Amino acid sequence: MFACIYGLTLSERGRDAAALLVDLAFTFSPLVEQTGMDTVVLDVEGQELLFGSPTSSDPSVLVKPEANWTNIANEITRRATQLGFKVNVSIAANPDIAIHAARSNKGIRVIPAGQELIELGSLPLKQLDYSLTGIEKDKAEEIYETLRLWGVRTFSEFAKLPIAGIAQRLGQEGVRLQKLAQGKSERQLNLFQPSAGFEQALELEHPVAELESLSFIFSRLLNQLCANLNSHALATNELRLYLKLEDKTEYGRTIFLPVPMRNPKTFLRLLLMDVESKPPQAAIISVKIKAEPVKPRESQTGLFIPLAPEPDKLELTLARLAKLVGPDNVGAVEVLDTHRPDAFRLTRFRLNPRTRKNAGKKSPVGSEATPALPVMGFRVFRPPWRAEVKTMDERPARINSCGLAYVIRGQIVCASGPWRTSGDWWLKDVWARDEWDVAVSSSGSQQGEVLCRIYRDLQSEEWFVAGVYD
Amino acid sequence: MTAVLAKTEIESALAHRFGPAFQRREKQPVKVLPTGVSEMDALMNGIPRGAITEIVGAVSSGRISLLLSALAVATGQEETCALVDCNDTFDLYSAKTARVDLERVLWVRCHNGLERAFKATDLLLQSGGFGLVVLNLADVAAKSARRIVSTWWFRFRRALENTPTALIVITPIACVRSCAAIVWAVNKETDAWFAAGASALKTDDAKLRINRDRGPATTHARHLSLVTESPNRQAESLLPHSRLFRGICVRVSQERPAAWTGGPVKFSTHVYI
């Protein structure tokens, strides 16, 4: 059985009233269709056990089923009245009949199965809602005009016409409309899906200016947000924070996560660290957190796959490192496609997927994974150390350069070069240099012989130490 | 004797409450991460996981070469690695030439902040899951290295215990002290330059070969040659600089063994009256 609630003058009250009507229907059944702004249909099968008349222990005393449905309709009306609605309620075996009955009759109407035409046969054809069968307006009006010319004016007159003739003259649309008038239309309820609450907001009674107080508010909202995500078997990879400030400005931050997560503690720490790094300029009066729902991460670890940091922990660690050394100093390095020396950029560090094939295996020395002979290591000085170089026969003979930790000073005992490199001549920061690899006998220090790379900048004619071999 | 009995009585009385506390822990076998240098791996197995390995040496002693080799092996095994660079001196091109998978290396640049470097290392170790963490203090002044408080090293050692993470610390002087499981002292013996070309001033090819063939002079020492075999190979590499500098030969001494194999240790007590 289906119940239809038709709200009188509800369409004038807007979307909030329509949402309240849907909420009212959900208090009776989880199977609810919002047919229109003022019409809601719900499946009330089994509700007689809750709202029906009490059954007697005497089997000779029979309770009419109509009495149970009337009780349900009365209960719906009572609750609607409490909410301030004036509604018509009808109950029928067919949802479309229930809709027509609720729209055409005031108060409560219960239509037993098989008596649809008796109860609604006198209704004019104009009240037949063609949209319930999915027929377009123009086609429906054309059919109504034809029926009017035939002298067919009510549901019962239309229902009594032979179906073969209807199909021949009005087509399939006519047949569907006739079944609708007969109360024999077959359709499933187009169930209303309540919007998932992946957005939580809170208006604060007093402006909040301290991060510690804000953490409690974040925690509450994030817990609710993650509970909603969990109930829908979803996670999020993007968190958006919107704050309304006392000076009537807005503050927004977005946190992108490398993998979908739904751990409120992780979210809380990330949000707090993010807000701490760039705090708002005024006290906060409203907080809204929005999560972008995505499917959760599917991963299966293996016995022979090397351990990797947990994505949640890694994200927190990266955020803490960024706070410690600055966001521009943490990440994975990417060598730029240029010949300019020491050209690179730091990108966001991400966990690379591990392949089971090579995981955990020892790389044989000399294979593709590792070179047979260790490569000579080099350390770059950023920025390069300025040096005083004395030349002899156009070759560096003596160097004096001072760094933070030690001094490179002494006779150059071995040198190879120069190797001239240049580039970016079409840009302002053109570079051109003559590079030398030198061995410096630093007799004055404890370093012994130092192997370093020096260069002469051809633009400024100055010498620099690029770095040391180590 | 009385003390032993008293200890046994106390242990038996408290055993039902604190049972595991009185049981002797079985020492787990040391898992290692290969260094990628065959001579080193043959002698010392590699870098122990769950412990601190200290590589000590002066400038141009070959410390970074060893490090790059270990990083190449670790990233080749698809381990996640982290490099805390105290003085921001990590060279990408030599790392790339050493076949380090840079996508698997988290680089933390500390810009001469010694304290920041230690805090960053601590965060990484506490986070867990890294196969190899490197703390590069190569350019820290010896005076500053001596002043590093021991609590940092104890903290790192505690954080590393029973984890698969290996921590390599590169220092100019030995400063990790008793917290290091292995201390490798690296010394440059000689450097090599190609004879071809008018610019070359010195060749030590013969000397290098003798050094390589000499084998382990002492139990815990190895001579390594970090020398390019042919000029063509150097030319193929990504390094855009010298074609004549070939590399160096180093001597690595293992100051502290990973595990004691000399049998049980006996202590004797003398009572002076």
The token pair that represents A463 in the structure block: 């010498």
Instruction: Kindly report the nearest CA distance between residue B225 and chain A, in angstroms.
Output: 8
Quote the domain boundaries for residue B58.
32-186
- Strand A395-402, strand A407-423: pairing: antiparallel
Q: What is the pLDDT of residue B210?
A: 30
Burial (0-12, 13-18, 19+ Cβ within 10 Å), A300: exposed
Tokens of B83: 């490099």
- Least CB-CB distance to A448: which of B58, B104, B226? B58
Which DSSP state fits A377? P
Residues of chain A neighbouring B94 (CB-CB closer than 8 A):
375-378
Looking at residue B22, what is its pLDDT? 66
| Angle value at C-alpha B54, between A368 and B39, nearest 5 degrees | 40
Interface of B with A in 251-270 (CB under 8 A): none
On whether residue B14 sits in a domain, the answer given is no
Kindly determine whether residue A362 and residue B34, on different chains, have CB atoms separated by under 8 Å: yes
As a whole number of angstroms, the distance between CA A6 and CA A39 comes to 5
Task: Please give the Cα distance from A252 to A419 (Å, whole number).
Answer: 52
Has residue B19 been placed in a domain? no
The tokens describing A52, both together, are 């029906």
Contact state of B172 with A419 under an 8 Å Cβ cutoff: no
Is B200 among the domain residues?
no
Chain position carrying tokens 């000590």 = B56
Q: Which two tokens stand for residue B231?
A: 């000029």
Decide if B42 is inside a domain.
Answer: yes
CB pairs under 8 A between A and B: 260
pLDDT of B230: 47
B199–A415 C-beta distance less than 8 A:
yes
Mapping DSSP to helix (H, G, I), strand (E, B) and coil, where does residue A206 land?
strand
A342 vs B95: CA distance, rounded Å: 12
Cα A176 to the chain's mean position, in Å?
A: 41
Q: Is residue B77, in this structure, part of any structural domain at all?
A: yes
CB A460 within 8 A of CB A385: no
Residue B65 near chain A (CB below 8 Å): yes
Phi, psi of A432 (to 5 degrees): -155, 130
C-alpha to C-alpha distance for A2 and A326, rounded to whole angstroms: 63
Give the pair of three-digit tokens for residue A417: 């070069």
Non-local CB neighbours of A18 within 8 Å, separated by 6+ positions: A7, A10, A34, A37, A38
Q: What is the ipTM of this complex?
A: 0.77
Angstrom distance (rounded) from CA B175 to CA B178:
9
Structural domain total, chain B: 1
**Longest Cα–Cα distance in chain A:** 127
Give a yes or no: residue B272 inside a domain: no
3-state secondary structure of A469: strand
pLDDT for the residue numbered A445: 53
* B260: helix, strand or coil: coil
Q: Is A465 helix (H, G, I), strand (E, B) or coil?
A: strand
Cβ contacts of A413 on chain B, cutoff 8 Å: 201-202
Query: Which letter does DSSP use for residue A229 in this model?
Result: H
d(CA A94, CA A119): 13
Q: Closest by alpha carbon to B28, among B42, B49, B44?
A: B49
DSSP state of A154: B
Query: pLDDT 10s digit of each residue in chain A, 470 long?
Result: 899 998 877 666 666 778 888 888 888 888 888 888 888 999 988 877 777 766 655 566 556 677 788 888 888 898 888 888 888 899 988 888 899 888 888 888 888 888 888 888 888 888 888 888 888 888 888 888 898 898 888 888 888 889 888 888 888 888 888 888 888 888 888 888 776 668 889 999 899 988 888 999 999 999 999 988 888 888 998 999 999 999 889 999 999 888 888 899 999 999 999 998 888 989 999 999 999 888 888 777 677 777 788 888 898 999 999 999 998 999 999 988 888 888 999 998 988 766 545 544 444 444 444 445 667 889 999 999 999 999 988 889 999 998 877 888 889 988 887 888 888 888 888 889 998 888 898 765 556 788 889 999 998 999 999 999 88
Other CB atoms within 10 Å distance of the CB of residue A118: 11
Domains with residue ranges and CATH for chain A: 2-182 (3.30.70.270), 199-294 (3.30.1490.100), 378-469 (no CATH)
Task: Please identify every stretch of chain B with a pLDDT value under 70, giving residue numbers as ranges.
Answer: 1, 19-29, 193-247, 254-273
- What phi, psi does A329 have (nearest 5°)? -115, 10
Chain A: residue whose CA lies nearest to B37 = A374
Block residue for tokens 């990440």: A331
Q: Is residue B135 part of a domain?
A: yes
Cβ <8 Å between B164 and A307: yes
Smallest Cβ–Cβ distance between A382 and the set B34, B88, B225 belongs to B88
Beta bridge partners of A87: A7
Q: 3-state class of A425 per DSSP? A: coil
CATH number at residue B177: 3.40.50.300
* Residue B4 distance to chain A (closest CA, Å): 44
Tell me chain B's radius of gyration from C-alpha atoms: 22
CA dihedral A169→A171→A172→A176, nearest 10 degrees, is -50
Exposure string over A410-440, b if 16+ CB within 10 A, otherwise e: bebebbbbbbebeeeeeeeeebebbbbbbbb
Say how far apart CA B21 and CA B167 lie, in whole Å. Answer: 28
Residues of chain A with Cβ-Cβ distance to B247 below 8 Å are 376
What's the CA gap between A392 and A133, in Å, rounded? 99
Instruction: Measure B110 CA to nearest chain A CA, in Å.
Output: 6
Contact at CB, A314 and B89, closer than 8 angstroms: no
Omega cis (within 30) before A418? yes
The token pair at A98 is 């229930």
**Do the beta carbons of residue B238 and residue B96 sit within 8 Å?**
yes
Whether B196 is in a domain gets the answer no
CB contact under 8 A, B129 and A437: no
Is residue B118 within 8 angstroms of chain A, CB to CB? no
